[in-house]
Chains A and B, each alone.
Chain A
Amino acid sequence: MAYSRLRRLLAFDRQIRRDGTQSPVFLHRRDRRFALDCQDRNETPSVDRWLVHLERVGRMGGKDSHQSRLAASAPEQTLIKWRRLLATFALFGVIFGIVAMAGLLYYEGGQRINLTVLLAFAALQSLLALITIVQSTVNWQPWRPVLRRLGLGGRESPLKPLMPALMARVAHTGGVCFGLAGVATLLVLVVIQDLAFGWSTTLSTSAEGYHQLLGTIAWPWQHLWPTAVPDLALVDATRFFRAEASSGEADPELWGQWWPFAVMVWLVYVVMPRLAGLVLAQLQLHLRARRALASHPGMVALEYRMETPTVDTGNQHHDALDSPDEQTAAQCQALPDSQILIYWAGADDPELPDSLSAGHLLTESAGGQRSLADDEQAIERCNDLLAKQAKPAVTLVTRAWEPPIAELKDFIEAARNHWPKKTRIALLPFTSGATQLNSLQQLGQWLRFVDRLNDEQVCVSQPDLRSPESRAYEPKPEGLK
């Protein structure tokens, strides 16, 4: 029972340590899922169930992995060490019990077995049991370095707060074995030998006084086993002095009548305190193991993870690597000497500077708030003028910060189908004021747009803000003439 609690605590601690390498988000998802599964089955999500669940899902298809076996065996290893320590104490308890009792009852036929020594020894055992009980209750651990050397009391061990109770249990087990082996030895010797008990003391005490003391000692079993309570006559008859040559006055049978009292003294004052200590240690172990598990930092976190719903904000989809190619080979070209200016989607607001807008024979608007029919009419009107020109060219002004959309593409394609084939179309992405801050980035999207159109007659031009007069005297670039 106690071992199952310890095993649970050790296994839990082990699992929490293993979880330390996992991300908190994963742990939350895992444990919340477990809690929800328990809820579906109308079960309380206990630590035992949690551990069993993790062990089951950790087996990976029914086969125990080496890792999981190691993980499962680690708590067992610690408990085995404690079991071995317990067995060692029990064994030594038995041996010492036999030896001690044999020593106490050593009788070669001459001297009596002094009951006073037996009583003193039993009192000492009671005192030792009491010290062990107090020690485990106040958490005093004088043997901690020894345990650490044996690998039982590591600083990080979850059993650390249980050490006093564990050690007390070991000590009391040894004590119980000692006591029982003593009683057994006493009974065997009673059967196979004629033990001659007597009492002796240097102190000047009367038989009445001694009888009163023995009566007090025998109080616990006076009703249970009256024969084991010595009467005054026996006490009076069995006093001996070592200086006496012989004590032949007393009936030899009387010397042997003490054994029930001796057995009961041993049982009540040696075995019983140890048994009581063992029960108390076991109880302490239960309580402390439960408290240690409840106050384990991992338990608080686990309960929180089980109770709190997992929130998935929808971040599974990844397409950041699927971004469009922002490279382009297209270059800005000089503005052609066009006589037609078309403002696309409200590009006439803000107005173009005079250096760009002046000197054009025809100014049109298309896109944006204009209807598709308006666009077609504008294309027709431009066509009339372009048909008369030797070097037809159109300047299409756009808002540089607005992205080029498919409607503009449709417009350019429709215009190219209507206008003379050699008509050059110069896209003029125009910026003004603060929007110029992003002009380079904005220009890039227009260059890529023209690149995608794959039409040699369409290009992107940067605004030339010089006056028309100064432009008139400027030598024309090759290809635009």
Chain B
Amino acid sequence: MAEAPVFAVVGHPNKGKSSIVATLSQNDAIAIALEPGTTRKRQAYPLSVDGHRVYTLVDTPGFQRPRRVLEWLEAHSVSVSDRAETVKAFVTQFQDDTRFADECELLAPLTEGAGVIYVVDGSIPYSPQHEAEMTILRWTGRPSLALINSIGPDDYSDTWQRALGQFFQVVRRFDAVRAPFEQHLSLLKTFGQLEPEWEAPLNEATRYLSEQRHQRRRESATLIANTLEGMMSFREQRTLTVQQVTEMSDQALADQLRDQWYKHQRKKEEHLRIAIERLYQHNRVQRQEAELVWHSEHDLFSENSRAAWGVDRRYLATAGFGAGAVSGVGIDAATLGHSLGTGALIGGLIGAAGSYYYGDRLALPVLKIGVLKNGIRTASFGPVQDSQFGYVVLGRAINHWWHISQRNHAGRELLDLAPADDHWMESLDRRSRQTIHQVFDQCRKKRPLDDKTRQTFRDAIDAAMTEFDHWRLNQP
């Protein structure tokens, strides 16, 4: 079996080598800082499928003394044919020399057969000052590709592209922080074009990465669906003894139950966030600050949240009609069709009327305080009786999923979960709307969902995710 290709990501210090590696290896725990010398040792990041390496990316330190290295190489080379050997000799001779530690670290994988991925910053003007390091890389004789990464806001990519074309086989632009996933795959395919025998493994890698992304999306839909089911049907319950009953007023009990209920719901939502982040291998997202801001301005239960993520009365009425009609079909089935569809019609009208009536009310969950019986009194708060609550949770969850799924692992900025300014769910297909509404209704009535309903609910969430994706991508 052929050895898996290795690509050494090399370049001048602080040009985004680690960012490129972080994004392609989906690792947000790689140190990235605008400080030369952040990467001191080469580090391999293999992509494995079932434990078998498909390719390896090697992050390396930047060149520190390229002119001195080039001078040594030129002094020890007789002809073009011995250049690769001379580079190898340099690494052998200076591997223990602290002066050339960085150069040895970055050249070693190239002498062992790695391909060259040379990274430059396209946001700063081109300068021929880096030609010494490009010449050294050319001396290695390895297949090479130059990547123009843009760290700052300016764009000098065109100049870079022209200049790099003289030194490298392929020149590509790639924004490590902002490039969409499709570009990651496209870049990996380009890596495969550097050598004929690398094409198959890199194509295989992109196929698996693509499948993995689809799988993550499905799992996200399942996580969101399960959380929604749990949150919509959650009831906070407490059993009190006679002594506790006498010590606590009904109002105090209600307040406590309500607080506990809110606390539980927020915890469930937080768990969902973390689960989705872990799924996409974002383990270090700085969401803490963003969440606090999010909660203070767009609290889950505030009217603002409802305005941002809820749906309007017309939507509710339409979805309610569909959900009611589905229930009413049961009557028609029971009468073996003799009711001529009246059941579906009546059910639909009742569902639509109920949804329309309650549509603009942020109804609180049901608070029930039972009577004292056998020295024990039970009190409960929930489930929430307002379907809008479900739409708010759903909207927020999908918004978070979208941001996480689009976020590259080189990104270190705060995750800003801005609320939507449009009711994107209104373009969701009717069937999915009805399913979501029906499930919300069932949950708030504490009716258990069967496996089939759960599956269709997951599919509806998936459809909502697709809809949100389209809506975000078509945003001006």
A372 touches B68 (CB 8 A): yes
CA distance A441 to B27 in the complex (A): 25
B34 touches A315 (CB 8 A): no
Q: Is B62 an interface residue (CB 8 A)?
A: yes
Write the nearest CB–CB distance from A398 to chain B, whole angstroms: 11
Q: Is A249 an interface residue (CB 8 A)?
A: no
Chain A contacts of B71 at CB under 8 A? 371-372
Q: Interface-forming stretch among A131-139, A316-324, A460-468? A: A316-324
Interface string of A404-434 (1 = CB under 8 A from B): 1111001000000000000000000000011
A314 touches B152 (CB 8 A): no
Write the nearest CB–CB distance from B70 to chain A, whole angstroms: 9
CB proximity to A under 8 Å, residues B1-48? 12-14, 24-38, 43-48
CA distance A434 to B125 in the complex (A): 10
CB proximity to A under 8 Å, residues B400-459? 409, 448, 451, 454-455
Chain A contacts of B48 at CB under 8 A? 311-312, 314
B36 touches A326 (CB 8 A): no
Given contacts A23-B275, A320-B284, A323-B31, contact A315 B26 (CB under 8 A): yes
Chain A contacts of B361 at CB under 8 A? none
Chain B contacts of A312 at CB under 8 A? 46-49, 51
A349 touches B127 (CB 8 A): yes
Interface size, chain A (Cβ < 8 Å): 54
Write the nearest CB–CB distance from B283 to chain A, whole angstroms: 8
Q: Is A260 an interface residue (CB 8 A)?
A: no
Interchain CB contact (< 8 A) of A369 among B45, B128, B208: B128
Chain A contacts of B211 at CB under 8 A? 308, 311
Q: Is B378 an interface residue (CB 8 A)?
A: no
B448 touches A309 (CB 8 A): no
Interface string of B55-90 (1 = CB under 8 A from A): 011000011111110010000000000000000000
Interchain CB contact (< 8 A) of B208 among A156, A311, A372, A410: A311
Name the residue on B nearest A24 (C-beta). B219
Q: Is B270 an interface residue (CB 8 A)?
A: no
Given contacts A24-B219, A345-B129, contact A407 B66 (CB under 8 A): yes
Q: Is A286 an interface residue (CB 8 A)?
A: no
Chain B contacts of A434 at CB under 8 A? 152-154
A315 touches B63 (CB 8 A): no
Interchain CB contact (< 8 A) of B49 among A304, A311, A402, A403: A311
Q: Is B99 an interface residue (CB 8 A)?
A: yes
Chain A contacts of B128 at CB under 8 A? 346, 368-369
B208 touches A407 (CB 8 A): no
Write the nearest CB–CB distance from B36 to chain A, whole angstroms: 4
Q: Is B279 an interface residue (CB 8 A)?
A: yes
Chain B contacts of A372 at CB under 8 A? 67-68, 71
Given contacts A311-B208, A368-B127, A434-B154, contact A324 B63 (CB under 8 A): no
B29 touches A346 (CB 8 A): no
CA distance A296 to B450 in the complex (A): 11
B281 touches A313 (CB 8 A): yes
Looking at B67, B124, B215, the one whose CB has the most chain A CB atoms below 10 A away is B67
Interchain CB contact (< 8 A) of A406 among B44, B64, B154: B64
Interchain CB contact (< 8 A) of B152 among A32, A320, A346, A438: A438
A445 touches B34 (CB 8 A): yes
B152 touches A315 (CB 8 A): no
B35 touches A319 (CB 8 A): no
Interchain CB contact (< 8 A) of B38 among A28, A297, A314, A323: A323
Given contacts A155-B448, A297-B451, A405-B13, contact A315 B281 (CB under 8 A): yes
CA distance A168 to B39 in the complex (A): 71
Q: Is A169 an interface residue (CB 8 A)?
A: no
CA distance A349 to B126 in the complex (A): 11
Q: Is B131 an interface residue (CB 8 A)?
A: yes
B275 touches A317 (CB 8 A): no
Given contacts A295-B451, A435-B152, contact A407 B67 (CB under 8 A): yes
A314 touches B47 (CB 8 A): yes
CB proximity to B under 8 Å, residues A305-344? 308-315, 317-324, 326
Q: Is B212 an interface residue (CB 8 A)?
A: yes
CA distance A297 to B459 in the complex (A): 13
A-binding residues in B (CB < 8 A): 12-14, 24-38, 43-51, 56-57, 62-68, 71, 99, 102, 124, 127-129, 131-132, 152-154, 208-209, 211-212, 215, 219, 223, 275, 278-279, 281, 284, 409, 448, 451, 454-455
**A-B pairs with beta carbons under 8 Å apart, 21 shown:** A24-B219, A25-B278, A32-B50, A309-B208, A312-B49, A314-B57, A315-B45, A317-B27, A320-B29, A321-B31, A326-B35, A346-B129, A368-B127, A372-B71, A399-B127, A401-B124, A402-B127, A403-B12, A403-B62, A405-B65, A434-B153
B-binding residues in A (CB < 8 A): 23-25, 28, 32, 36, 155-156, 295-297, 304, 308-315, 317-324, 326, 345-346, 349, 367-369, 371-372, 399, 401-407, 410, 433-435, 437-438, 441, 445, 448
Question: In the complex, given contacts A371-B71, A405-B13, A435-B154, what are 6 additional A-B residue pairs having Cβ atoms less than 8 angstroms apart?
Answer: A295-B451, A311-B47, A315-B29, A322-B31, A346-B127, A368-B128
